[in-house]
Amino acid sequence: MIRRYKYIYNALLCGAGVLGLLSFQSCTKLDEEVFSEVLEKDFKPSERDLPFIVSPVYASFRSLMFGWQGYFDLQEESADHIITPVRPNGWDDGGTYRRMHQHTWNAVQWQPYNTWQQAYSSITKANMVIMQIEEKSLPLPDEVAQAAIAELRAARALAYYLLLDNHGNVPIVTDYRNVALPNQKTRKEVYDFVVKELDEIIPLLSHDVAPMYGRMNVWAAKTLLAKVYLNAEVYTGIAQWDKVIAVTDEIIQSNAFRLDNEYKNIFSAVNESSPEIIFSVPYDEVYGHGNQLHMKTLSPLSRLVYSMSAGPWGGNCAVPQFIDTYDPDDQRFYDSWVQGAQYNATTGVEVINYVKEVPGIGGDGTIASDNAGFRIGKYAIKKGATSNLDNDYPMFRYADVLMMKAEALLRLGRENEAALLVSEVRARSFKSNPEKAIVTGIDLLKGSVYNYGWQEKDGTIKGENGGADIKFGRFLDELGWEFAAEARRRQDIIRFNVFQKKSWFNHRPHENAQTRILFPIPNDERNKNPNLKQNPGY
Amino acid sequence: MKRVIMLLLLWCNISLSLFAQESLVLKGRVSGPTGEAIVGATLSLEGRKEKSSSGPGGTFSLSYKKGDALHVSSLGYVTYRVVLNGQVSLDIHLQQSSEALDEVVVVGYGTQKKGEVTSSIASVKSEDFTKGAVKDAGQLIQGKVAGLRISTPSGDPGESTQVSLRGLNSINGSQDPLVIIDGIPGDLSTVAPEDIESVDVLKDGSAAAIYGTRATAGVILVTTRRNTATESRTTIEYNGYASLQTLFRKPEMMGAGDYRRLIADGIPYQDLGSETDWVDEVTRNPLSHNHNISLFGGNSRTNFTGSINYRNWEGIFLKSGQERLNIRANLNHDMFDGKLKTNVQLISRNTKSNNGGSSPYMWRQAIIRNPTDQIYNENGKWQERDAYFYDNPLGMIYETIDDNIFRETRLSGSLDYRPIKGLSLKMLLSRVQNNDLSGNATTFDHINTTKNNLNGTASRNTRSSVQNLTELTANYTATFDNHKIDVLGGYSWQDDTFDQFYAYNFDFPTDDYTYNKLEAGMALQRGLAEMTSYKENRKLIGFFARLSYNYKEKYMVLASIRREGSSTFGANNKWGSFPAISLGWDIAKEDFVKDITAFNQLKLRAGFGVTGTIASASYMSQTSYNFERVQGAYINGRWVPGFVPTRNFNPDLRWERKNEYNVGLDFSLFDNRVYGSFDYYTRRVKDLLYQFNVPSPPYLYSSMMLNAGEMSNMGFEALVNVNALRKGDFKWKTGLTVATNKNKLINLSNKQFDVTVPFFEAGYTGEPIQMSTHRVEVGRPVGDFYVWKTVGVDDNGKWLVENQEGKTIPISEATLDDRQYYGNGIPDVNVGWNNNFNYKQVDFSFSFRGSFGHQVLNMSRMYYENPINKAYNVLKTAYDPVYGKTLTNDLVYVSHYIENADFMKLDNVTLGYTFKPNTIKGIQKFRVYASGLNLLTITGYKGLDPEAASYRGDFTFAPGIEHRDRYPTTRTFTMGLNVTF
């Protein structure tokens, strides 16, 4: 028996020996070797790296604006210009476009959530870079640091403005290190925050125009401030028309910008050269993907018209009632919408004829044919386009500054001064008939020519109540013609009470319309952060 | 005292015999149950040292003394004992040992006798494998292991089976079992099915815990065929078959006649004047063949096993298929009187495919294409039409080049030093290298160019990986008196490196280059070409120990622990410990049941074990950044990439841990005529790795990888084998496996975040419906469909659905909140029933397999059983009334298309005939057979195949979707022969 135990003893000894041998450091070392990522400890940034570090703050605006079911859809499909009807190749998508049109969205609707996510992505990245600069992990000379922080705060204010406008009651986070669940602020508090931020940084921001293209300079910040004041009554209940005039005057008097002679140049593939653009979200076919408006709007057949290297999806189009408001001499009608017969670029054969009429949004079995509705053509589609356009999105442009001032003047009873500005903006669009460019103060006091009402399948308008009763309706029409398909119609028609009161196409005023002015706080975010209370009415 | 007397008596007996007897010569032959020769069987006489083995033809010759007891043993057969009383010739028939308690089971770093096993391990030997044109090791054991669900959702020859053990056990970790081929990690297709001796499955935690972090999804141990002869032996085996495939079921789409009839009825279809059956045009009945040659040779000290396997499988889609060459060489050599055993093994695997454009999306195009359209236009080019997502499927097939070459070399060597009896010190070294190279191109006649003006596209993609493994083990086994002890200690070091490179270009001056001159494309200069490269490394280090002890094979205990570390986890949590213990008690060996002869074995087992799940990717815990083009912007007049955090950082990432309790009973009754096992398990996975949604703000990304969940699975498994008839010429063996599983997500929460995620949505219908299909909710099982429940159709042909208050509303008024749970895609019960018959030279087997208690979303009906879109073809049933009305609704995802998918399949039928040995001179064994796979399905499901639902990748949390874009399943008929020289 003793012998056997000895065997075991030997065996264990041998085993232990082997294990002991292996307990050396190298045999238990588990550090990760990293090849395709940059480790924080290996990256020693300097001023040279600033562009790389700042650019993600702006990158979010690309997917925010023209991304799939992004901000563009959020602003346009909830308003009276653009719809995505059910078509032979689909576009029911669980009713999401119908809900946008009929204001029946709820807290799981994707479009508002997408805006939330992208806006906060930009905010958090801005917070991160501000922290890196302040903590000197990104060491910069003092002047550079100050300018960079001011710019980042301006970009962050822009993102907060989008949240202020769409979701209203949102949390304000400015400290990257603090990952505690943030508290919700009221819409008024968010408004105050944005105004205060802009007031503080405007003196520190760059006055450069061309070098700061696509970035927040002082003019972009001032235009943003004017926008916030323009909508102050909606946001806070207190109008700030005088402040709109004051800020817009500063921009106008700077002579840094002027109206482009050609309306379509503002939206062309090389629109970065337009003298009118104050702030844009740059897109590029190669570097800055995301402008896919043409993909969503064009019929697959239009591929042949533009010799495209991608097949468009064939979705959204203009509301016929809006198309009916245009003056046929208004060049913007032709520059904004793809309409009528379209011809094959190589053979010259007609491939599709876009008609104005659209039978309905769908959901009731109505299917809009492939050629139903005029398509968004404002952002000129070049021959040989890929699925990404080069055209930058002009978020703030000089015409808007003039129109903001005009609106403030109009609302303060200075309609004749307003009319001068409106006429100035119209002038380039009525070159064939310059007299039509002139509007008077009396014109601006009229109602809208938009024939508001429910559209039947055959195109007749039922229960029509028109637009004559809309206060300053004519001015709203001017905004519509000038800024069609510029991802802003929702905000404008809220200010003119159309969003809440009017029917158009297959939309009737929501029974609880006042609550639709704000989108719901996304359910997903409320699930993650119990501090967030839902907006009223959801 | 009693023992001493016994020993004395025994000694007297032997002594007496020794003196009393003269030497005799015995000649004979060893054969198996069907009379086939067994070469290399070991023959030994009790109490003697020398051994001999059977030679060619199973013949042997040995000398003995009267009264000697002869033992004849061979792996896979019951040891035969006979007392020799003066015979000079003897034919020995060995019984196959699948029912035997002495059968050896592979347990990971060693083997155990089946009678001593205390955990839940299933072992399938080659004679019980599925016969015929088998894809991989998974299909070999399909329906034969209770609790291991194996499905073949795709008919693509290049696709492997999908395997899941005891339900779904991870969210972001691997769902695939760890597959070990002769001790080295691999996968189910590493070796050819013909080259496999046995497959052992470690099912419960107590068995699998020795593999620590990789073991939660189970461990499958594949043992390749070895030369086990102890004497000189040279055998050559040839196995070959040819097989024919047909579509398992053809979708019933409308034909040209149907179109014309409907047009006459005023329905606005387009008559394009021709007649084409697109499904027929894109499919074929492919012929495949497979050849396998195995060679066994050598002597008692040095032996060799080699095999060459060539397989050429064509797919049911035109141009699809795979050619494969597997070569294996295994060399063993003993030195120093057997004290040092060496082994070298080389496995080489090469596959090649030239697939053209046969893809699941092509299948969709064949199905929706207008049957009155023509294949070619008047210019002899592919007839294309300008519609959305509507392309000529034949153009796709013939104008696409999709080539792939995969090469793998596995080289391993081991030294096994046995300085004293019972002690083995082993070192195993291995290196597995593989390289996967693809080339893809489209010609000028492909829609990429004819429609999208890309002027030819081409890409190359290459991936390679190297895995180095070092394992050192020390094993000591001792038996004394009634005690048996087995101790194992070991160390394992594994290092994996993975590289990838991809390049894509288009706008070529010619399509002649295909993918062989990527630089000729001009898209590179235009900035539209694509390129990626990537490298990853991970290390896994483990220390392990195991102790097993049994007393008289009556009381048994096994305990093991693995301490393992992985580089993929956070700095503070790299290491984890994975203990296990299991106990066994064979009641049949107790005195109080000894008299009940019906019980040969009645072993109660109970085990507990902790296992982990490996992270699916490296670097998830790293604080790192990347330069990303999508995060770039236009800064200072030029575009720059953006520098962003790679993820929300989580340096605390740690192992998923699964605790599992298993109780079981192994039984063998009535002289081992009825045997099998029952198991009940309950497993709970904690610290599930989950891409947890975190609030944004304040986090940059709206999710981060966290240990944030718990999931449980419980189930019952039964395996019952009956040797219904085992005497005489007619033999019948039948086996039944039944497994149930109940899965539940217990929570999704993390202490760091004071919130619980109530659910997440999964699955996607695809265009144009664009909705998620499933919802995974805490407190419910994974696999629940979440959908609008249809209750009728209104007079206008629109769906009526049930809203959240239970009221019937038109679907146009339904909100996303009105969706509800409706069925589950994972079966509650899986059943397998296997039968083998032998009558003289004839063998016949068939097996049924079924799944019950689950639903499948019939996507084909969802998209094609609705007449709304006249631009695409639909099923013949599309115009059938639904709830008595004709449907005019848009395509929607509703419960109407979720069907009960219970099925029973006649899975495998094989009829074989084995010629008597030496019917043809020099041929020891000659067998011909015919076999069928996936022959018949009994189901109420209306789709093509209720089993054609994937459970992997995108479908892990959206199981039970028979996707419209897929490679349809097939029925296979095989003729084959096995020859042994």
- Nearest CA distance, B638 vs chain A (angstrom): 10
Q: How far is CA A21 from CA A16, A28, B75, B472, B473, in A?
A: 8, 12, 37, 11, 13
The CATH number for B18's domain is 2.60.40.1120
Q: How far is CA A53 from CA A117, A132, A485, in A?
A: 20, 10, 32
Q: Which 8-state DSSP code applies to residue B37?
A: B
Q: Could you write out the DSSP letters of every residue in B235-276?
A: EEEEEEEEEEEEESS---B--HHHHHHHHHTT------S---
Strands (E), B481-506: 483-506
With an 8 Å Cβ cutoff, are A286 and B526 in contact? yes
Nearest CA in chain B to A28: B541
pLDDT at B10 over 60: no
Angle in degrees, CA A475, A187, A532, rounded to 5: 135
Distance CA A161, CA A167 (A): 10
Q: Indicate if B144 and B219 belong to the same structural domain.
A: yes
Q: Indicate if B37 and B13 belong to the same structural domain.
A: yes
Residue ranges of A 28-87 with Cβ closer than 8 A to chain B:
28-41, 43, 49, 51-59, 62, 86
Q: Indicate if B119 and B217 belong to the same structural domain.
A: yes
- Nearest CA distance, B632 vs chain A (angstrom): 5
Nearest CA in chain B to A210: B637
Q: In angstroms, how far is the first alpha carbon of chain A from the final one?
A: 82
CA dihedral B238, B244, B249, B253 (to 10 degrees): 150
Cβ-based contacts of A37 with chain B (< 8 Å): 619, 622, 624-626, 646
pLDDT at B198 over 60: yes
Cβ-based contacts of B625 with chain A (< 8 Å): 37-38, 40, 43
Q: How many CB atoms lie within 10 A of CB B335?
A: 13
ipTM of this predicted structure: 0.89
Q: Is residue B153 part of a domain?
A: yes
- Nearest CA distance, A449 vs chain B (angstrom): 31
Q: Indicate if B175 and B194 belong to the same structural domain.
A: yes
Residue B826 DSSP SS3:
coil
Q: Which are the contacts of B4, defined by CB distance < 8 A and separation ≥ 6?
A: none
Q: Which are the contacts of B807, defined by CB distance < 8 A and separation ≥ 6?
A: none
Q: What would the mean pLDDT of B64-80 be, rounded to a whole number?
A: 79
Cβ-based contacts of B451 with chain A (< 8 Å): 303, 311
Query: What tokens appear for B92 in the block?
Result: 């020995």
Query: What pLDDT is recorded for position B570?
Result: 82
Distance CA B652, CA B571 (A): 7
pTM (two decimals): 0.83
Query: What pLDDT is recorded for position B53?
Result: 80
Q: What is the pLDDT of residues B833-858, one digit of tens each?
A: 999 999 989 999 999 999 999 999 99
Q: Indicate if B139 and B168 belong to the same structural domain.
A: yes
Burial A119-137 (b: 16+ CB within 10 A, else e): bbbbbbbbbbbbebbeeee
Instruction: Name beta bridge partners: A67.
Output: none
Q: Indicate if B197 and B115 belong to the same structural domain.
A: yes
Q: Which are the contacts of B472, defined by CB distance < 8 A and separation ≥ 6?
A: A18, A22, B425, B426, B427, B428, B490, B491, B492
Q: Which are the contacts of B638, defined by CB distance < 8 A and separation ≥ 6?
A: none
CB nearest to B453's CB, from A108, A124, A308: A308
Tell how strand A393-397 and strand A350-354 pair up.
Answer: unpaired
Tell how strand B178-181 and strand B219-224 pair up.
Answer: parallel
> What's at B18, amino acid-wise?
L
Is B456 within 8 Å of B506 (Cβ atoms)? yes
Q: Which of B392, B530, B490, B495 is nearest to B448 (CA)?
A: B392
Q: Can you give the residue range of the structural domain that contains B161?
A: 104-224
Q: Indicate if B38 and B137 belong to the same structural domain.
A: no
Q: Indicate if B72 and B108 belong to the same structural domain.
A: no
Q: pLDDT below 70 — which residues of chain A?
A: 1-26, 464
Distance CA A188, CA A235 (A): 7
Q: Indicate if B120 and B80 belong to the same structural domain.
A: no
Q: What is the pLDDT of residues B549-605, one digit of tens each?
A: 999 888 999 999 999 998 888 887 888 899 999 999 998 888 888 778 788 889 999
Query: What tokens appear for B854 in the block?
Result: 């689950």
Q: What is the pLDDT of residues B328-356, one digit of tens each?
A: 999 988 888 878 999 999 999 999 998 89
Instruction: Name beta bridge partners: A248.
Output: none
Distance CA B735, CA B832 (A): 8
Distance CA B69, CA B83 (A): 4
Residue B658 has phi, psi (to 5 degrees) of -115, 125
Q: Which of B617, B603, B758 is nearest to B692 (CA)?
A: B758
| CA atoms B1, B3, B4, B5: torsion sign | positive
With an 8 Å Cβ cutoff, are A284 and B754 in contact? no
Domain stops at, among B65, B95, B125: B95
Residue ranges of A 212-241 with Cβ closer than 8 A to chain B:
213-215
A–B CB contacts, 8 A cutoff, strictly below: 296
* Greatest C-alpha distance within chain A: 120
CB nearest to B619's CB, from A32, A40, A363: A32
Distance CA B859, CA B963 (A): 5
Residue A452 has phi, psi (to 5 degrees) of -65, 145
* Structural domains in chain B (count): 2
CB nearest to B624's CB, from A39, A284, A351: A39
Domain stops at, among B193, B224, B255: B224
- Nearest CA distance, A337 vs chain B (angstrom): 22
Is A429 within 8 Å of A332 (Cβ atoms)? yes
Topology (CATH) of A44-287+392-523: 1.25.40
pLDDT exceeding 90 applies to what percent of chain B? 56
Query: What pLDDT is recorded for position B7?
Result: 42
Stated as kind and residue range, the H or E segment containing B910 is: strand B903-915
Q: Which of B182, B197, B187, B203 is nearest to B138 (CA)?
A: B187
Q: Indicate if B167 and B62 belong to the same structural domain.
A: no
Residue A265 has phi, psi (to 5 degrees) of -65, -25
With an 8 Å Cβ cutoff, are B636 and A51 in contact? yes
Residue ranges of A 269-308 with Cβ closer than 8 A to chain B:
282, 284-289, 300-301, 303-304, 307-308
Distance CA A500, CA A470 (A): 12
With an 8 Å Cβ cutoff, are B699 and A124 in contact? yes
The CATH number for B154's domain is 2.170.130.10
Q: What is the pLDDT of residues B893-936, one digit of tens each?
A: 999 999 999 999 998 999 999 988 777 887 888 999 999 999 99
- Nearest CA distance, B635 vs chain A (angstrom): 6
Domain stops at, among B95, B112, B138: B95
Nearest CA in chain A to B477: A8
Residue ranges of A 153-192 with Cβ closer than 8 A to chain B:
171, 173, 176, 178-182
Is B212 within 8 Å of B578 (Cβ atoms)? yes
Q: Indicate if B108 and B219 belong to the same structural domain.
A: yes
> What's at B48, amino acid-wise?
R
Residue B968 has phi, psi (to 5 degrees) of -65, 155
Q: Which 8-state DSSP code applies to residue A171?
A: B
